[in-house]
Amino acid sequence: MKKGDLLELDITGYAFEGKGVAKIIKDAPETDTMEPKKFVVFVNGTYPGDKVTALVTKIRKSYAEAKVKSLITRSSLRIDPKCKHFGVCGGCKAQDLTYESQVKFKEEQVKDIFERIGGLEKFEDLPIEPSEKTFFYRNKMEFSFAEKRWLTDNEINSMQEVADKDFALGFHVPGVFDKVLNVEECWLQSKLSNRILNFTHGFSKKHQLLPYSSQKHTGFLRNLVIKQSFSTNDLMVNLVVSEESERLFIEYKAELLERFPEVTTLVFNVNKKLSQVAYGDYEIVAHGPGFIYDLIGECKFRISANSFFQTNSSQAVKLFSIAKDFARFTGNEIVYDLYSGAGTIPIFISKNVKQIYGFESVEPAINDATINIELNNVSNFKPILADLNKTFLPVLQEKAIPKPDILITDPPRSGMNPKIVKDILELNPKKIVYISCNPATQARDTKLLCDGGYRLIKIKPVDMFPHTYHIENVALLTK
C-alpha cells in the first residue's frame, strides 16, 4: 500500500473524531507461524455498513488514513443531511447519521478510550445522556470574514468567471486557514441568527467593506459573533473589526435594529492584533447594555461579548446535575472547582455545599464570576485567580484556604497540566469529579490520579453537541 492508492473497503467500525474503520488482513511471511495481523484504515465520512472506494492519504506503521472517492453500498444508518453546506463546512461531521447511532457510537467510544488509553477497568459506564434538541441548540455562533471564498467543485469545473470570489462570511473549511465557506444557513443556532448572518453579508457588500487579511494586514471586517439566550430572549450581535469607523457603526446599527428589533444589544469589538481571534482590544457598546443574560437551571448568568459560557444551555443543566449527583454532597463539604470560569458550576451547586472555592487563570472570567455571585445572591463561593498551568498550592497557603473534601475539575480540551494533577494528589480530597470535553486527555489524567491512590468508580457521557464528534464526560474518582 502506498499514498494515492485506491482501495475498496468495507467499513465495520466507527472511531473517535468521526472516522469509519476498515480492517485489512496483512499477509504473514511464509516463515511466520503467527496469525496474519489486521491493518486498520480510518476513512473520514463513512459509517459501519458502508462499502466504499477510498483514496489513501496517509500511511503509518499500524494504520492508514483515507478519504472517500465513491460510495458503493450505503449504510442503513445513513440519512439525508438537512444542511446544504454539509460535507464542506466541517462543523457537523455526522449530520447524515441517525441521531440514535451518533449517541450509541459516542457512548462506546468513551468506554473504549478509558479502557484502551487509560488502561482502566472495573468501573461503571453509565448510559449517555442524549441532547433534547438535535438542531438549533447552540446559543453562540462565530462566523469569519475572508477575502478568499471557498469555491465549490461546480464553480471550479464551470471554467467561468466566478462572482463574489473575493468575499466570504461563514466558516473556515477544515485544514484551510485562508479560505472561508460562504454560509447562508446553519442548523446549529437559530433561524433568526441565519437571517442576521445574511443581512450582515448583504450590508458589507452594499457598503463595499473589505474583509481583514492576516497576511496583508489590511481590511476592516474580521468576525460576526451572535449570542442568543433561549430562556430570556436576549440577543447580542458582536461585530469584530480592525479599526473604528463611526459612520459605518451608525449605519450598521440603524439598519440592523430596523430589520431585527429582537436584538437587545450591539457591540463593536476593535481588534488591532495580527492574530485571527474573535475578540478585540476594546469594545464599543452601540446599543443595549453590552451583555445578555442566560439561565442554567434556576441560576442566572451575565454573558459579555468576550466571556465564555456553555454553548448548549439545556444540556449544561444535565451535565452539572450529573456532576452534583456523582459528588453526593451532604451540605458540610468544602469544595474546590478548578477552571471555574464565570462561576457556572460553583453557583449551580452552591446551595448543596458549605463553602466552594473556584480557581481560574483568566482574570476577566473572575470578574464575570463576581458579578454572577451578586446576581444569584450566593454567599459561599469565592473565585480566586490562580495559574492552573503551573501550580496553585502557593495561592492556598497565601490565602489560608482550607483543604477540600471534594474537588471538581473541568479543564480545557488539553486536560490538566501534570503539575496540577500532582497538586490534587497532595491535597488528597475524598472525591474527585472530573468533567471533560475530551475523553482522551481525561482518561490520561484519570490514570495518573489512579496511580496516585484513587479509583475510578463510574463515568457518564453527555452529548452537548449533536452531529459533531465532540462529547462531554463526567467521571467520579474516590480514594
- Highest mean pLDDT among 19-33, 127-141, 159-173 belongs to 127-141
Task: Give the separation between CA 365 and CA 370, rounded to whole angstroms.
Answer: 9
C-beta pairs of 112-119 under 8 Å, 24+ apart in sequence:
112/16, 113/16, 113/439, 113/440, 113/443, 114/439, 114/443, 114/446, 114/456, 114/459, 117/440, 117/443, 117/444, 117/447, 118/443, 118/444, 118/446, 118/447, 118/456, 119/447
Position 59 scores a pLDDT of 93
Q: Please provide the average confidence, as pLDDT, over all residues in the chain.
A: 92
- Distance, C-alpha 129 to centroid of its chain: 17
Domain ranges of the chain: 6-78, 105-134+312-478, 140-296
Q: The domain 140-296: what is its CATH number?
A: 2.40.50.1070
| pLDDT above 70 (res 29) | no
pLDDT at site 170: 95
Q: Give tens-digit pLDDT for 328-364.
A: 999 999 999 999 999 999 999 999 999 999 999 988 8
Question: What's the rounded Cα separation, in Å, for the pair 140 and 313?
Answer: 10
Residue range 75-126, pLDDT digits in tens: 999 999 999 999 888 889 999 999 999 999 999 999 999 998 889 999 999 9
CB 68 within 8 A of CB 43: yes
pLDDT of 159 above 80: no
Q: What is the mean pLDDT of residues 296-316?
A: 91
- Whether residue 459 contacts residue 108, with contact meaning beta carbons closer than 8 Å, is answered with no
The strand ranges marked E within 288-326 are 291-296, 299-304
Tell which wins on pLDDT, 478 or 178. Answer: 478
Residue at 311: amino acid letter? T
Check residue 30 and give its pLDDT. Answer: 52
Superfamily holding 6-78: Nucleic acid-binding proteins (2.40.50.140)
Q: Which grid cell sits at 252?
A: 450598521
Helix (H), strand (E) at residue 357:
strand 355-360
The model's pTM: 0.90
Q: What is the mean pLDDT of residues 444-456?
A: 97
Residues linked to residue 391 through DSSP beta bridges, in sequence order:
none
What residues act catalytically?
437
Q: 77-91, 155-169, 306-320: lowest mean pLDDT where?
A: 155-169
What are the tens digits of pLDDT across the range 210-254? 999 878 888 999 999 999 999 999 999 999 999 999 999 999 999
Look at residue 28 in the predicted model and tell me its pLDDT. 55
Measured between alpha carbons, how far is 469 from 101 in angstroms, rounded to an integer?
A: 12
Give the model's pLDDT for residue 34. Answer: 55
Same fold, 6-78 and 140-296: yes
Q: What is the reported pLDDT for 319?
A: 97
Which of 2.60.40.2310, 3.40.50.300, 3.40.50.150, 3.90.1150.10 would CATH assign to domain 105-134+312-478?
3.40.50.150
Q: What is the pLDDT of residue 362?
A: 86
C-alpha cell at 215: 497576511
Long-range contacts of 473-476 (CB under 8 A, 24+ apart): 473/110, 473/435, 473/436, 473/439, 473/442, 474/319, 474/322, 474/323, 474/326, 474/433, 474/434, 474/435, 475/433, 475/434, 475/436, 475/442, 475/446, 476/326, 476/327, 476/431, 476/432, 476/433, 476/434
Region 137-149: mean pLDDT is 94
Residue 388 has pLDDT above 70, yes or no: yes
Strand, helix or coil at 129?
A: strand
Confidence of residue 36 (pLDDT cuts 50, 70, 90): low
The owner of cell 453590552 is: 290
Does 27 have pLDDT greater than 80?
no
DSSP annotation of 151: P
